[in-house]
Each structure stands twice: as structure tokens, then as C-alpha cells.
Amino acid sequence: MKPYFRLSILFLFFLGWTAGAQTSREELLTHIELTAGNYANYPVPTGHLTPAPEGYEPFYISHYGRHGARYMTSDRAYRRLQKQLDTAQFLGILTDYGKDVYLRVQKAAADAKDRAGELTALGGRQHQEIARRMYERFPELLSRPLQVDARSSTVGRCMISMFTSARNCRG
């Protein structure tokens, strides 16, 4: 019986220790942009770089990224949402905010028409900004002859993202 008692006490201690931990829900509500998953924009770094240790200096840059902001991979989501909003509009049950959302969805759907999965202008700017930050932080590396090994899948938005970053790393 004693081993079970000790195990129970240990379990209760562990349970009490983790009770004060931050929950995923709290974290997501604090940073609502994280709920967008794959549709979230690249976060702009806000921290500082750790300097190289005494006697060392940077000699290469390694960047692993994914495509920048893109249009949804299908127009189906826009059509479904538009159909629901059309019905609500027809029934006269949209609030003023709902009417505003309705107009914004129509505008977004028109902008995205026949562009499923393509890189957006924002996506291109995101990669230009990544390259700009690299150049500003490591001008000694990027102002001399470079050997760039850039790889991408064959998906257009990925190739354009890779090319945009590589092309702009010279400032």
C-alpha cells in the first residue's frame, strides 16, 4: 500500500506544480495572430542578436524559410463564405459590422480570383525584408563575393520566395 501512497503523493505534487502553467488557450488569446496557422504572416523579429563569442566572427548565414504570404489554395472557401453572407444579406439579418465584413470578403475574393496559392505582394515584401535584415546585420558577409546555395520545391510561390530573398541579399 505504501508504494501506491507515495505514487499518489508524487502525482498530486506534479499536478499541483503544473496547475499554474500557462494554457494554450491563454497563449493564443494573448497572441491571436498565432491562430492563423499556415496563414499567419511572418513575425517581424523584435529581439536582439547575440554577438559572436570573443575572438570569433560570423562567416556564413543559413536561412531556412517557407514561402511568404499567399492566397488561399482554393477559391472554394471564398465561395462558401460568400454564399453564406449572400443568404444573410438577402434575409436582412446582417448587422452593420456584418455588412462591412460582407464587403471586405467580396473585395478579397475578387482580388484572389484565379490566383489560388500564388504569392501575394505582401509575401514578396516579407522576403525582401528578410534579405534587408540579413544585409543590415551582416554587411561584411554580403558585400564580398558570395556563394549561394538556394533550394526550393517546384511550387511557384516557393521559387519566387527563394529568388526574392537571394536576389535582395545584396542590399
| DSSP conformation letters of 46-94 | -S-PPPPPTT-------------SB--S-THHHHHHHHHHHHHHHHT--
Residues 115-129 have pLDDT tens digits of 888 888 888 888 888
Residue 50 banded pLDDT, cuts 50, 70, 90: confident
Q: Could you give the CA distance from residue 47 to residue 81 in angstroms, rounded to a whole number? A: 38
Residue 166: what pLDDT?
Answer: 62
Residue 88: is its pLDDT beyond 90?
A: yes
Q: Could you give the CA distance from residue 115 to residue 109 in angstroms, rounded to a whole number? A: 10
Residue 122: what pLDDT?
Answer: 86
Q: What is the mean pLDDT of the chain?
A: 81
By the 10 Å C-beta count (0-12 exposed, 13-18 middle, 19+ buried), 170 is classed as: exposed
**Between these two residues, 43 and 136, which has the higher pLDDT value?**
136
Average pLDDT over residues 12-29: 68
Q: Could you give the CA distance from residue 72 to residue 115 in angstroms, rounded to a whole number? A: 8
Q: Phi and psi at residue 70, in whole multiples of 5°? A: -135, 165
Indicate the helix (H) or strand (E) that contains 115.
none
Residues 91-115 have pLDDT tens digits of 999 999 999 999 999 999 999 998 8
**Between these two residues, 21 and 159, which has the higher pLDDT value?**
159
Is 169 within 8 Å of 142 (Cβ atoms)? yes
CA separation, residue 23 to residues 12, 26, 28, 109, 130 (Å): 19, 5, 9, 35, 31
Residue 134: is its pLDDT beyond 90?
A: no
